[in-house]
Amino acid sequence: MSTRPLFVVAGIGGGSGTGAAAARLFAQKGYRVALVARNADHLKRLAGEINDAGGEAAAFPVEDYSYGATLSVFDDIAAHKWSSAGSSSLRVALWNAGTGVFKPFLEVTDKDIETSLQTNVTAAFAFSRGAVLAFKQNELDERGKRGTLLFTGATAAIRGNVTTSAFAAGKFGLRALSQSLAKEFGKENIHVTHAIIDGAILTDRSSSRGEAWINNADVRLDANSIAKSYLYLVEQDRSAWTWELDLRPAHEKW
């Protein structure tokens, strides 16, 4: 009985952004998809959509992105009984969850700092631990990999700004984590990569910017295109791995 590759993504928003787009694409490529987020309704809706389209997805809601809740979801995923026959092998894990705090420095509270670091750093540590432990059990695939761990980053991971002190602290930490893991586990054939998303992504929420912005692909990112870039990273063989990818629309000011 064959073993199916498994894709785990944490953070799907309302179902129109990067996490959801990646889930749909990897399902189309034959992966089982484990969806992790705090909103059970959004998870259920996206899992149903993927299953109705012929894929195989399951929802794993978490109460919060605490270290314990984020790590324990891997046990729930491992114990899940999939509708099709055969075992699963976790091959790709995407940390797409994040929390934005945008305030002038003197307005930032201790709660704001805690919120940013909890999701962007502490929970990312837990997610990484669960993924790496699973990857270490895998044999090398045809590309010489045991697994790929992807992180969705932001411009704030490399550059602070006037209202991003708390947000940038979290994103700098996430980037540093990804680089550290890439160096530590590359020698075990575990590929770790970080994507800087430099620009606004077209989602249901951002569509309030208006028709001109929606219809101009020069000025905004497309979640489906980001997902294709993630697939490109996953399909790299061990002779040429990317650690960091920088994605922006053609007319983004940088």
164 in any annotated domain: yes
pLDDT at 57 (0 to 100): 98
252 in any annotated domain: no
160 in any annotated domain: yes
65 in any annotated domain: yes
pLDDT at 204 (0 to 100): 81
**Among 99, 32, 86, 89, which residue's Cα sits nearest to residue 60?**
32
253 in any annotated domain: no
Q: Any idea what DSSP says for residue 145?
A: -
254 in any annotated domain: no
Phi-psi region of 120 (alpha: psi -120 to 50; beta: other; left: phi over 0): alpha
pLDDT at 22 (0 to 100): 98
Alpha-carbon distance of 3 to 131, in angstroms, equals: 18
Determine contact, residues 118/66, Cβ cutoff 8 Å.
Answer: yes
| Host H or E run for residue 86 | none
Alpha-carbon distance of 245 to 100, in angstroms, equals: 21
Q: Tell me the two tokens of residue 16.
A: 């129109």
When divided into structural domains, the chain yields a total of 1
Around Cβ 161, how many Cβ atoms within 10 Å?
11
pLDDT tens, N- to C-terminus, the chain (254 residues): 589 999 999 999 999 899 999 999 999 999 999 999 999 999 999 999 999 999 999 999 999 999 999 999 999 999 999 999 999 999 999 999 988 889 999 999 999 999 999 999 999 999 999 999 999 999 999 999 999 999 999 999 999 999 999 999 999 999 999 999 999 999 999 999 999 999 889 888 888 888 998 999 999 999 999 999 999 999 999 999 999 999 999 999 86
CATH number at residue 171: 3.40.50.720
Burial, 47: exposed, middle or buried (Cβ in 10 Å; 0-12, 13-18, 19+)?
Answer: buried
Domain housing 100:
4-247
pLDDT of 56-74, one tens digit each?
999 999 999 999 999 999 9
185 in any annotated domain: yes
115 in any annotated domain: yes
**Among 205, 183, 120, which residue's Cα sits nearest to residue 157?**
120
Q: Any idea what DSSP says for residue 208?
A: G
Per-residue CA distances from 26 to 119, 134, 173, 192, 199 (Å): 24, 18, 27, 17, 23
Q: What are 5's strand-pairing partners?
A: 89
Alpha-carbon distance of 223 to 203, in angstroms, equals: 8
Residue 35 main-chain phi, psi, to 5 deg: -100, 125
Determine contact, residues 117/173, Cβ cutoff 8 Å.
Answer: yes
pLDDT at 93 (0 to 100): 98
pTM metric for this prediction: 0.96
Alpha-carbon distance of 154 to 170, in angstroms, equals: 10
